[in-house]
Structure 1
């Protein structure tokens, strides 16, 4: 099972000091956080993609390429690649290039995004969101799997005898997760292609997450990719930890109360009761995270949101130390101990390459 962190790259004032980091400071902080993630033994660092203030990660490939050059083992991913407003040709080229530079340590989470105005900024209509996601991803798959593509669709100009370059590393495209909070059409898309499904359940109660994951698993099996248990599932989560749970709550409360995404709404206590947000001791985080399996089944990737709401870099790095030293080792052992036989492994370039070679041997026979 893979454990890691994802960042939305928000530039938010620290409510305890009133200071807002500069964009440069925030970008550099994201790099330092990724390096720390590898240092403490995490598997994955993922960045969001946003094109509006107060967010800075408008160019995920630039950020991840820089991090790739400074890491050795870390899998680099996107918390969302905007399949709706990005040209699928450019996605194919940019991420194949990054795949080569990172020696295969790359995958993507495709999503529609949650910022409505981004659509007209890139010449699209939000009312076409689902259709854009379906058409663009269908083209992207062909660009990565076919050397020469002839294609015609609704939302971009046709392609004639087009070859996307560079070709995917070793002929194996990056693994794709489809991220969605509330759209069954996206769960169906992931299932149809046999891709992964990532449910960023940071704002939703367990029963909602359960319904979305079960839908994906059922449709994955329906489309002939394996049993429901073999489907590839990832989950999000949010944590803030201190040795003493009361200290964690006291320290995190002003950040929660003033956060752009959920501040000035439900209380911290209500939010932690109704969603996966966990603010407390490392043991509480362990117990809460292990409980995700009760409604999501055995899954392959767990990402945590830790660097948001104006938390200073020093605090985030302290959180990563706790996560890597006290939490993830226990989670690895506990999840492995109860994992059922036949559950798919977490995707990685080497395993995808082996699977492709095995498939070619079967086809040749």
Structure 2
């Protein structure tokens, strides 16, 4: 199994101290966490894309390019690239540039994206989002594969023998399709033989497991070997300690702050207590043995070979954050790597 750290670069007060970091300080923390992820042996680091409060992740290519300059080995993920909002030509230019600068370490996760505010910001009608995502992906894929592209669609001007530079370093690029509950993303992934990344963060396991089963059915429908399907899955929260009670105590302020924010926004919490959150969500909070057992239990339903953890400290001190990640790499990751084969992972690194 492979392991990623992922951040959406939320910009909210620290749940313990109440302090709100300046945007620049929060962004520098993201870059530092990527360096920590590489130092500790994680396989990838992902930056999401959101264009609304309370996120600072409006430009993943910029953040990931800075991370590329500070690292040498770790794979660089988008989580997700919102092709329903972007011009795919411009997105291709940004990510092809990043692929070259990083020495071929880019991994794209694409998706429709969530949130009405960012959709309105880009003047995208809700009924068009899925079609824009699919069309943007088709063009993005062609641009990555061919030096000259002739193309026409609904949502941007046509191209005639167009050349777009720079050409990417990786041929081909691996493109994952991020999905929470959408069968549209699953169908696009299965049709093209691409891997699926399940969000797996908001609800209990059942809807995500059913979507992954549907992905495998559609994979086979398109004439593909089921053994070749690759699935990744997210987690709703993370903290690890030698004793489970210590992990719960450290995570409690983070959970309570999250719960308060949900209620302030008028949202009914899916998991109303920390005990329920730990038991029924995908959160990995507890001792190494508990966390290992939970990932294996999810693997029985998902068959996934990539897992992401939150990259953010939230209310923990830097020492607590580092200690939890070190413990994961020392005791959990080795057991899971032995039990679950990981997908092929390019070994290209920046020189």
Query: TM-score higher than 0.5 here?
Result: yes
2:292 corresponds to 1:294: no
* Distance in 1 separating the partners of 2:335 and 2:121: 45
Partner secondary structure for residue 167 of structure 1 = coil
User: How far has the Cα of 1:106 moved from its partner?
Assistant: 0.9
* Distance in 2 separating the partners of 1:4 and 1:102: 17
Could you tell me which of 240, 263, 274 is aligned with 1:268?
A: 274
2:109 corresponds to 1:117: no
* Distance in 1 separating the partners of 2:6 and 2:334: 19
User: How far has the Cα of 1:169 moved from its partner?
Assistant: 1.3
* Corresponding residue for residue 208 of structure 2: 209
Gaps of 5+ in 2: 264-268
Residue by residue over 1:86-107, the C-alpha shift from the partner in whole angstroms, topping out at 9 and shown as x without a partner, is 1100111111111111111111
Does the aligned pair in 1 maintain the 2:240–2:325 contact within 8 Å?
A: no
Q: Which moved more, 1:247-256 or 1:31-40?
A: 247-256
Does the aligned pair in 2 maintain the 1:196–1:232 contact within 8 Å?
A: yes
User: How far has the Cα of 1:313 moved from its partner?
Assistant: 4.1
Q: Which moved more, 1:215-224 or 1:132-141?
A: 215-224
* Distance in 1 separating the partners of 2:23 and 2:332: 31
* Distance in 2 separating the partners of 1:140 and 1:30: 27
User: How far has the Cα of 1:261 moved from its partner?
Assistant: 9.0
Residue by residue over 1:107-131, the C-alpha shift from the partner in whole angstroms, topping out at 9 and shown as x without a partner, is 1100111211111211211221111
* Distance in 2 separating the partners of 1:184 and 1:200: 13
* Corresponding residue for residue 233 of structure 1: 231
Does the aligned pair in 1 maintain the 2:250–2:316 contact within 8 Å?
A: no
User: How far has the Cα of 1:334 moved from its partner?
Assistant: 2.3
* Distance in 1 separating the partners of 2:163 and 2:247: 53
What does residue range 46-195 of structure 1 map to in structure 2 within 5 Å? 46-169=46-169, 172-195=171-194
* Distance in 2 separating the partners of 1:324 and 1:182: 30
Does the aligned pair in 2 maintain the 1:306–1:319 contact within 8 Å?
A: no
* Distance in 2 separating the partners of 1:46 and 1:31: 11
Does the aligned pair in 2 maintain the 1:256–1:309 contact within 8 Å?
A: no
2:316 corresponds to 1:317: no
Partner secondary structure for residue 14 of structure 1 = coil
Partner secondary structure for residue 201 of structure 2 = helix
Distance 1:63 1:306, change over 3 A: closer
* Distance in 1 separating the partners of 2:31 and 2:259: 22
Partner secondary structure for residue 116 of structure 2 = coil
Gaps of 5+ in 1: 337-343, 351-365
Distance 1:111 1:262, change over 3 A: farther
TM-score, scaled relative to structure 2 = 0.91
Does the aligned pair in 1 maintain the 2:16–2:315 contact within 8 Å?
A: no
Q: CA RMSD in A?
A: 1.9
TM-score, scaled relative to structure 1 = 0.88
Distance 1:252 1:213, change over 3 A: same
* Distance in 2 separating the partners of 1:260 and 1:93: 39
Does the aligned pair in 2 maintain the 1:100–1:168 contact within 8 Å?
A: yes
* Corresponding residue for residue 282 of structure 1: 288
* Distance in 1 separating the partners of 2:311 and 2:297: 19
Kindly tell me the number of residue pairs found equivalent between the two proteins. 340
2:10 corresponds to 1:10: yes
Does the aligned pair in 2 maintain the 1:82–1:113 contact within 8 Å?
A: yes
* Distance in 2 separating the partners of 1:16 and 1:235: 28
* Distance in 2 separating the partners of 1:28 and 1:5: 16
* Corresponding residue for residue 219 of structure 1: 218
* Distance in 1 separating the partners of 2:186 and 2:346: 21
* Distance in 2 separating the partners of 1:189 and 1:154: 18
